[in-house]
Amino acid sequence: MFDSYIIKGIGGFYYVKTGGKVVECRARGIFRKRRVTPVAGDIVRLETEGGAPVIAEILPRKNVFVRPPIANVDRFFIIASTTQPVPSTLVIDKLSAIAVDRGAQPVLLITKPDLCGPEALASCYAHAGFPVLTVNAAAGEGLEEVRALLPGCVSVFCGNSGVGKSTLLGALLPELALQTGEISQKLGRGRHTTREVTLYECGGGLVADTPGFASLEMERAAYIPKENLQFVFPEIARHFGECRFTGCAHIAEKGCAVRAALEAGEIDPTRYESYTALYNEAKEIKEWQTP
């Protein structure tokens, strides 16, 4: 199903799965000159140079993420716990916006339903247009629903430290001894133990473990111009072209179809708050500051 692809890159070495085996290689210097960095998920062509395999070409990418550094992602699983740590809808919405902007499907996984009911968080995404699943990895609940989304896809699993990401991946990939770390009660978040993006074969697809996000700055992860933000919130995008004025920012304009949908309960208030926060954040970014 998958051609030669990078599993992991570390210290200038890349580990490529090809022909049923993993080979260690370096990348040709031409990539450095072009300021292109190979990343996990890249489909590559290998050649032999000086008796050793080298990455000679990176095939066209479907997408590429800066943080986490990974390419050709199909599904972006965003893990949030009901509590410990308390979920941030702004972080979830930033991640889902970046996923949609890059052509990947976001999927929200809500963990720790045994500690607090997931209904309040799940209700925020009733109109968001992407899957929302509740998972209790320790009890084996919700795992089959997650596995059903993996075949034929490159999937990223990400979320703040302490939400149970490593526990979930350990349940999906029981043969791997993933460290989970202990939860810090004082900080309310876990001690992250994963050091680099690594791809694993799982359920007919590829899944990636990624560094945790203690914080996420939009411009560092992936820049989305303010004019494009309306398209990465599916429930807002549905009303494109319905506003009274062309170029409506959906903030305070008269005759705004998005604000009308908000008042009608078709858009959750937390999602709209995230949209306005990201819009104002993007508005402050100067053109020369963009990637």
The whole-number pLDDT of residue 219 equals 46
* Total-model pTM: 0.85
- Residue-by-residue DSSP string for the chain: ---SEEEEEETTEEEEEETTEEEEEEE-HHHHHTT----BT-BEEEEEETTEEEEEEEPPPS-EETTTTEES-SEEEEEEESSSSPP-HHHHHHHHHHHHHTT-EEEEEEE-TTTS-SHHHHHTTTTSSS-EEE-BGGGTBTHHHHHTT-TT-EEEEE--TTSSHHHHHHHHSTTS------EETTTTEE-----S-EEEEETTEEEEE----S---HHHH----GGGHHHHSHHHHTTTT-SSSTT--SSS-TT-HHHHHHHTTSS-HHHHHHHHHHHHHHHTS-GGG--
The whole-number pLDDT of residue 188 equals 44
Sorting pLDDT into bands at 50, 70 and 90, what band is 187?
very low
The whole-number pLDDT of residue 185 equals 41
The whole-number pLDDT of residue 260 equals 97
The whole-number pLDDT of residue 215 equals 44
The whole-number pLDDT of residue 183 equals 34
Domains parsed from the chain with CATH numbers: 4-60 (2.40.50.140), 65-209 (3.40.50.300), 223-289 (1.10.40.50)
The whole-number pLDDT of residue 79 equals 93
**Average pLDDT, integer, range 46-62:** 94
Q: What is the tens place of the pLDDT at every residue in 237-287?
A: 999 999 999 999 999 899 999 999 999 999 999 999 999 999 998 888 765
